[in-house]
Structure formats: C-alpha cells, structure tokens
C-alpha cells in the first residue's frame, strides 16, 4: 500500500490559482524530488500537505487513512490536525531553528513536550526523558554535529543550522520527511554538506519528498522526479526519463535554463 497518496490538491490565494489539481503517490522508502520554476506551486503543495496552508480541495492519505479532505466542511480540531501533522517532518528553506535554545535543546524540545501527553509519563518520567535525550544525541550524530551539541544556532554556519533542523525533524521519527528547498538559503560551498546528509538518509530508506533546484542532486538521490508547471504535474517519472529525456516542452525549457546557469 502507498505510504502517501495526494489527490487533486487545489489552492488559490485570492484570485491566483497556485495548485490546480496536483496528485501523486509514493511508496515506503521512496525518495521523490519535485522540480519546477518558481511560482509553479512546489512549495505551496508541500505546505498544504503539512497543514501550513489549508488546501481548497483535495485529499491527503497516509497509510490508507485520509488525514486531510478539502471537501470536509467540518473543521478539524487542533489536536486532530496536530496528530495528523506528526506523520510528517518538515525542513524549511530558512531553517527556522529556535535561536534561544542550543542544538540539543532544539532537538529535544518537541519530543519532550509530546512525551508529557503520554499516559505513562508521570510514572516513567526519568526513563522517558533519558530515552529522548539518547535518541536526540543519536540523530545529531547522524547529521555530524555531535561536537556542536551545546552551541547556539547563531554560532553555527548556515549548513550546520540546516543539519540541526534535519536532526530536529528526524527526532520525531516521522513517516515522511519533507524538504522545502533545503539548500536555497545556503552559499554554494555549503550545499554539499546538506546534500550528503540527505543522501545518507536516502540510503537508510527514509521516505522523503524534496523540493529542490539542484538538478544533479535530484537525479542522483531520487527514485522518482515530479516536474511541476503552473500548478499541475507536467511530467513524472524516473530521473532518467524526466531529466535526461524530458517529453514535456516546459520541462525541456526549464532544464535548459538551469543548465545555462
């Protein structure tokens, strides 16, 4: 069964139609990259799936369970949305680390707050908190920042900050990890370290959706490429199909423009 199915997502901001019925499915362990020029709706699609925007229409189905349905007029309670949201992890273009907390605190903040809701929290407080911290140190180690555990975000480079934000998302063990242009706010020499981390996650079969402009990286890391144009999926297929032999006119134009850069 598909781990994620997105159906017919539509979203308008005022009179501007940003998504005009976008859908795709993905399997567990799959890595999908979404390409497309700015304004094609990639980021909006990610934000709609992650409940940061409310899509006007469409469905999001995780493991066969509908977690979002645009036609559902009954408003979902905030706790239902939070629960659905926890299926996903999100890495932002601008990192969005919490500046007042050090690396470790950034990573443990959400797991600790969520643990408080567990019925057995009071009884096993010590063990649960210790487990959270061990897990946090583990994911921080995965992104190679063990030496920066006690540093504050302002003391880190952009690349390191983005690695912390990946660790922060991983700490909650999401079913699917979303990346919204994770290297776009970084100097070119810092993008490599992020791409290496994502590559390593792909090798560990973490299910990921990556919105990116790094064509070479997308080809290398993805099982499938989705090319979006003007709010619809213009082309979809393996990296070889979409990047090396694009059928769609817009895909060709886009790839040519990127190559020229």
- By C-alpha distance, which of 56, 59, 106, 113 is closest to 82? 113
3-state secondary structure of 259: helix
Smallest gap from Cβ 153 to other proteins, in A, equals 7
Smallest gap from Cβ 71 to other proteins, in A, equals 23
Q: Which residue has the tokens 């629960």?
A: 83
How far apart, in whole angstroms, are the C-alpha atoms of residue 69 and residue 61?
9
Smallest gap from Cβ 86 to other proteins, in A, equals 5
Q: Of the ranges 16-24, 164-172, 189-197, 249-257, which one interacts with other proteins (CB under 8 A)?
A: 164-172
Q: Of the ranges 2-10, 95-103, 186-194, 222-230, which one interacts with other proteins (CB under 8 A)?
A: 95-103
* Residue partners of 116: CB distance under 8 A and separation at least 6: none
Q: Does 118 bind other proteins (CB under 8 A)?
A: no
Smallest gap from Cβ 100 to other proteins, in A, equals 5
Could you say which residues in the range 11-70 bind other proteins, by CB under 8 A? 50-52
Q: Does 114 bind other proteins (CB under 8 A)?
A: yes
Q: Does 194 bind other proteins (CB under 8 A)?
A: no
What's the order of all strands across the beta sheet hosting 208-211?
88-91, 176-180, 208-211, 31-35, 224-229, 232-237
**What are the tokens at 6?**
């997105």
**Cα-Cα-Cα-Cα dihedral sign, residues 234, 240, 241, 245:** positive
* Residue partners of 92: CB distance under 8 A and separation at least 6: 165, 180
How far apart, in whole angstroms, are the C-alpha atoms of residue 248 and residue 253?
9
Smallest gap from Cβ 166 to other proteins, in A, equals 13
Per CB under 8 A, the list member of 82, 118, 247, 252 interacting with other proteins is: 82
Q: Does 74 bind other proteins (CB under 8 A)?
A: no
Q: Does 182 bind other proteins (CB under 8 A)?
A: no
Q: Does 97 bind other proteins (CB under 8 A)?
A: yes
Per CB under 8 A, the list member of 54, 72, 80, 94 interacting with other proteins is: 94
**What are the tokens at 215?**
């064509």
Q: Does 98 bind other proteins (CB under 8 A)?
A: yes
Q: What is the largest CA-CA distance in the chain?
A: 62
Smallest gap from Cβ 147 to other proteins, in A, equals 18
Q: Does 168 bind other proteins (CB under 8 A)?
A: yes
* Residue partners of 83: CB distance under 8 A and separation at least 6: none
Taking the least distance from each CB to other proteins, the nearer of 97 and 233 is: 97
How far apart, in whole angstroms, are the C-alpha atoms of residue 220 and residue 222?
6
Q: Does 245 bind other proteins (CB under 8 A)?
A: no
**What are the tokens at 60?**
């999001």
C-alpha angle 199-23-201 in degrees, rounded to nearest 5: 10
Interface with other proteins: number of residues (CB under 8 A) = 30
How far apart, in whole angstroms, are the C-alpha atoms of residue 41 and residue 35?
10
| Positions in the binding site for other proteins (CB under 8 A) | 50-52, 78-79, 82-83, 85-86, 88-90, 92, 94, 96-100, 109-110, 113-114, 152-154, 165, 168-169, 172
């Amino acid at each position: 069964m598909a781990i994620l199915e997105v159906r017919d997502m539509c979203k308008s901001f005022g009179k501007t139609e940003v998504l005009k019925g976008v859908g795709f499915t993905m399997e567990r362990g799959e890595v999908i990259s979404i390409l497309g020029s700015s304004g094609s709706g990639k980021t909006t699609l990610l934000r709609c799936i992650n409940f940061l925007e409310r899509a006007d229409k469409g469905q999001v189905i995780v493991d066969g369970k509908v977690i979002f349905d645009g036609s559902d007029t009954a408003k979902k309670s905030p706790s239902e949305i939070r629960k659905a949201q926890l299926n996903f992890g999100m890495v932002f273009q601008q990192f969005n680390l919490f500046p007042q907390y050090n690396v470790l605190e950034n990573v443990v903040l959400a797991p600790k707050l969520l643990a408080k809701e567990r019925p057995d929290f009071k009884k096993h407080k010590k063990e649960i908190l210790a487990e959270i911290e061990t897990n946090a140190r583990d994911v921080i180690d995965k992104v190679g920042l063990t030496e920066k555990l006690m540093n504050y975000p302002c003391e880190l480079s952009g690349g390191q900050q983005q690695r912390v934000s990946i660790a922060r998302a991983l700490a909650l063990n999401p079913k699917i990890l979303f990346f919204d242009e994770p290297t776009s706010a970084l100097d070119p020499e810092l993008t490599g370290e992020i791409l290496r981390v994502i590559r390593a996650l792909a090798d560990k079969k973490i299910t990921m959706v990556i919105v990116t402009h790094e064509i070479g990286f997308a080809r290398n890391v993805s099982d499938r490429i989705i090319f979006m144009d003007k709010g619809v999926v213009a082309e979809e297929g393996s990296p070889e199909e979409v990047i090396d032999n694009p059928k769609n006119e817009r895909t060709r134009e886009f790839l040519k423009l990127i190559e020229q850069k």
